A and B are shown apart, each in its own frame.
Chain A
Amino acid sequence: GAVVSQHPSRVICKSGTSVKIECRSLDFQATTMFWYRQFPKKSLMLMATSNEGSKATYEQGVEKDKFLINHASLTLSTLTVTSAHPEDSSFYICSASVPDSHEAFFGQGTRLTVV
């Protein structure tokens, strides 16, 4: 299957700092990528749709100024958690679909801890 790589897999940061998470499609180009958040023992919640070359589309209730998304190329989307607070601690995971296919592939996820 297609490969989606996410980095870092784990990050600890201090309150008030910003953290950038990268999502790359390694063997295909993705005009659209998706970012999800997962709380412990819960399902994945879609946060936003990352669109190459244009603004991201955020789901209701997701603060666009808190979670900045940039999709500067066909293989890279980044999620920046700005001015992080302990309540932003979570597991973040990205996905992309191979063109002309409806099958989604997911990155390894990033476990963010804000102290």
Chain B
Amino acid sequence: GIQVEQSPPDLILQEGANSTLRCNFSDSVNNLQWFHQNPWGQLINLFYIPSGTKQNGRLSATTVATERYSLLYISSSQTTDSGVYFCAVKTSYDKVIFGPGTSLSVIP
């Protein structure tokens, strides 16, 4: 089946710093989404981005489908950005497969 990798696995940032999270996938996908899982477990939809670039406030994402990767940019990080960031891809069978996640800690 399709493999989804994320890097780095863990990241510690000083508040105000910028960061880039990466997601690689092994096969063609119908879509790609980025999620933020908060400390209570809720998955927050950040981006639905099968290709191209999108921006939402301090966050932006770029997916290059032909090269099978996506990047999530976080600028001017805040402590509330802490949590786990997952990328997830949807296969031709409609299943959503998650990457292992990047655990982000933003310290004051």
Interface residues of A (CB under 8 A from B): 1, 32, 34, 36, 38, 41-46, 49, 91, 93, 95, 97, 102-106, 108-109, 111
Question: A103 and B41: CB pair below 8 A?
Answer: no
CB of B50 closer than 8 Å to a CB of A: yes
Per the CB 8 Å criterion, the residue count for chain B at the interface is: 23
Q: A43-B98, A43-B100 in contact; A108/B31 too (CB < 8 A)?
A: no
Question: Among the listed A38, A91, A104, which residue makes an inter-chain contact with B90, where contact means beta carbons less than 8 Å apart?
Answer: A104
Interface residues of B (CB under 8 A from A): 30-31, 33, 35, 40-43, 45, 48, 50, 86, 88, 90, 94-101, 103
Question: A103 and B42: CB pair below 8 A?
Answer: no
Contacting residues, chain A, for B50 (C-beta < 8 A): 102
Question: B41 and A109: CB pair below 8 A?
Answer: yes
Contacting residues, chain A, for B96 (C-beta < 8 A): 34, 46, 95, 104
